[in-house]
C-alpha cells in the first residue's frame, strides 16, 4: 500500500466512527460522564481524520479534502479549547494564532471562490459560503476574546456551536463522497442548512445573557 492509501484507510475508519459517535452525542443527555467520554473519543477520532485529510490533499491535490480538513480541524480544536476560556484572561497566544490562520484561509476561500464564479465554475459558491463562515468564526472569536460578547457563558455556547459544526463537516464529507443523486453543490451545502437551525436552537437554550 502507498502512504496515501494508508492515510485514506485510517481516515475512513476514523471518519466513520466519528459519524456514529457524533450522532450519539447529538441525541444523548449532555454534561454526563458518558457524554464527556464519548465526546473525547469523538474529538480525537475526528481530529485524526481531519489532519489526514489535509495530508492527503497535499499528496493528491483536492479542494474537497483541504476544505474539510481546515474546517474540521479549526472547529474541533477551538471547540475543545473554549471549555477552558471562561474569562478573557484564559486566552493564550495559541488562540490568537488560530484566529489568524482561519482569517487567512477564510479570505483565500472567498478570493478563490469569486475567481471561480467569474469563470462560470459554480463550485465557487461553495468556497464563498465556507469562506464567509470562516470569517464569521474569526469575528466571533475576536469578540469573545476581547470580552465584548453579550453572552455570559460564551465558552459553552461556542463549544456547542463548534462541535456541531465539526459534525456538519463530517456529514458533508460523507455525503459528497457517496452522493450519486444530488447536484454537487447541493451535497456540499445541504448538511450546513439542515444543522444550522439545531445550532441556533441549542445555543439559545443554554446561553446566559450579560446583565
Structural domain of 81:
3-206
- Cβ-based neighbour number of residue 18 at 10 Å: 30
The series of mean pLDDT values per 10 residues for the chain, 211 residues long, is 90 91 84 86 93 91 83 92 86 93 92 89 84 91 90 87 87 83 81 84 71 46
Residue 211's pLDDT is 46
On whether residue 78 sits in a domain, the answer given is: yes
Q: Which residue has the cell 471549555?
A: 83
On whether residue 142 sits in a domain, the answer given is: yes
Q: Are 112 and 83 in contact (CB under 8 A)?
A: no
Q: Shortest CA distance to 70 belongs to which of 58, 83, 84?
A: 58
Record the pTM.
Answer: 0.86
Q: How many domains does the chain have?
A: 1
Amino acid at each position: 500500500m502507498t502512504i496515501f492509501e494508508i492515510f485514506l484507510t485510517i481516515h475512513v475508519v476514523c471518519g466513520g466512527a466519528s459519524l456514529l459517535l457524533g450522532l450519539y452525542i447529538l441525541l444523548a443527555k449532555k454534561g454526563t460522564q458518558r457524554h464527556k467520554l464519548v465526546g473525547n473519543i469523538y474529538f480525537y477520532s475526528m481530529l485524526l481524520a481531519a489532519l489526514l485529510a489535509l495530508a492527503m490533499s497535499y499528496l493528491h491535490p483536492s479542494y474537497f479534502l483541504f476544505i474539510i480538513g481546515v474546517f474540521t480541524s479549526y472547529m474541533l480544536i477551538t471547540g475543545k479549547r473554549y471549555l477552558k476560556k471562561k474569562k478573557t484572561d484564559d486566552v493564550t497566544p495559541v488562540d490568537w494564532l488560530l484566529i489568524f490562520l482561519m482569517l487567512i484561509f477564510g479570505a483565500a476561500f472567498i478570493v478563490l471562490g469569486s475567481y471561480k464564479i467569474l469563470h462560470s465554475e459554480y463550485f465557487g459558491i461553495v468556497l464563498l459560503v465556507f469562506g464567509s463562515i470562516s470569517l464569521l468564526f474569526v469575528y466571533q472569536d475576536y469578540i469573545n476574546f476581547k470580552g465584548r460578547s453579550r453572552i455570559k457563558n460564551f465558552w459553552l455556547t461556542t463549544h456547542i456551536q463548534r462541535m456541531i459544526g465539526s459534525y456538519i463537516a463530517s456529514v458533508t464529507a460523507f455525503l459528497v463522497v457517496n452522493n450519486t443523486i444530488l447536484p454537487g453543490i447541493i451535497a456540499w451545502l445541504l448538511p450546513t442548512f439542515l444543522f444550522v437551525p439545531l445550532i441556533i436552537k441549542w445555543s439559545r437554550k443554554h446561553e446566559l445573557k450579560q446583565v
